[in-house]
Amino acid sequence: MFVARSIAADHKDLIHDVSYDFHGRRMATCSSDQSVKVWDKSENGEWHCTASWKTHSGSVWRVTWAHPEFGQVLASCSFDRTAAVWEEIVGESNDKQRGLSHWIKRTTLVDSRTSVTDVKFAPKHMGLMLTTCSADGVVRIYEAPDVMNLSQWSLQHEISCKLSCSCISWNPSSSRAHPPMFAVGSDDSNVTYGGKVQIYEYNENTRKYGKAETLMTVTDAVHDIAFAPNLGRSFHVLAIATKDVRIFKLVPMRKESTSTGPTKFEVQIVAQFDNHNSQVWRVSWNITSTLLASSGDDGCVRLWKANYMDNWKCTGILKGDGSPLTGSSGQPSAMSTVLGSSVQSSQNALNGMSAGRYFFPPLDPPRAGIVYGHLLPPSSLIEHCDTEPIQPQQQPLPHRLSSRALLPLPEAEGQ
């Protein structure tokens, strides 16, 4: 069961981004009030603000954590055309703040001429690398040659995307079969450029990043993009937040041994959902890439999951304030899959009898004689995603040990 917990963030303006650290025990938020706040989770599950400071001279768009093997390191980016790297330092024994931690700025990256719209650390197997994208259409990749000295960063790559950039995502795969790769999304209003998502791949021969693919079917402004964690797959899965939620599969095509160009991909759209009925602002995967969360202007977080046939469906709807979904706002619309089929799903209006009601796939009705039937929740608490009536099973259950009829026991004497 999901429990919604509100946190009084005390930001003075809009909060643009929330980021968890690797272990999920720390959280960072950034806002148009030009500040970043760091939150720590206590043993009882409460979040407490442990640091708050002004980071930029403009709205702070994004904040992100480095892998903990590099220390407690944050990066932020802002409308003030800069990105900054911050490190948490614990006071020395001879310091007045003995044992207390504080955040210090290690460096400011000032190469962009326009607003820096996103910042991401590369996967840890690539070393301590930081990527920024900006409204001038340029992606910049920096590297810290000495991970013990975060004040020194060198600009390694500068890639022009020809479109205003809004978001970036690294492919987390550490397989040697997959060269380093990232995707960049655009919110450019220029309609002459069709594909708003571009895939770039590192070429060992040229030692540069080249464009491997453009998703031409994505023509609307892209607000967020996220590669799914790659658990040994030969292909890649990419989620995109635009006017709806889209999931793409990128299957590398066989590459000739003499070829020196970037990998070509077979692009398949796996799923497309317009259930938010509004702009979608964020998409995020769980660590096993089996669950996708999306948030939109409808004020809801929606959870998506694929079944064994790779058909994606909505498995949960979480309203931000924890109140129950009422009326038509909780009604998912058609979901499209790669097979081209549409599953029409609708919800009955909820009566609001309990806060935090969520939708899950329909359960099979308990069959007569099932020992654990009494453990199922009452039907009034189960909201079904599909409206098709569930037909009781007509065929008898198969016998486990033998199909022979059992002989009746002899009656006791005297009865």
Q: What's the chain's length in residues?
A: 415
Q: Which pLDDT value is given to residue 258?
A: 52
Task: Give dist(CA 371, CA 55) in Å, integer.
Answer: 60
Q: Which pLDDT value is given to residue 239?
A: 97
Could you tell me if 51 and 72 are in contact, meaning their C-beta atoms sit under 8 angstroms apart?
A: no
Q: Mean pLDDT per 10-residue run, the chain (415 residues)?
A: 79 94 95 96 92 95 96 96 94 60 93 96 95 96 94 95 94 87 90 84 91 92 94 91 95 70 87 93 93 93 90 88 54 33 29 32 43 43 42 46 46 49
Q: What is the pTM of this model?
A: 0.75
CA distances from 150 to 2, 73, 104, 107, 198 (A): 39, 9, 11, 7, 30
Q: Which pLDDT value is given to residue 2?
A: 67
Q: Calculate ∠ Cα 146-151-157, nearest 5°.
A: 70
Q: Which pLDDT value is given to residue 68?
A: 95
Q: Which pLDDT value is given to residue 261?
A: 72
Q: Which pLDDT value is given to residue 96?
A: 60
Q: Which pLDDT value is given to residue 382?
A: 38
CA atoms within 13 A on the CB side of 194: 5
Task: Give dist(CA 85, CA 76) in Å, integer.
Answer: 7
Q: Which pLDDT value is given to residue 388?
A: 45
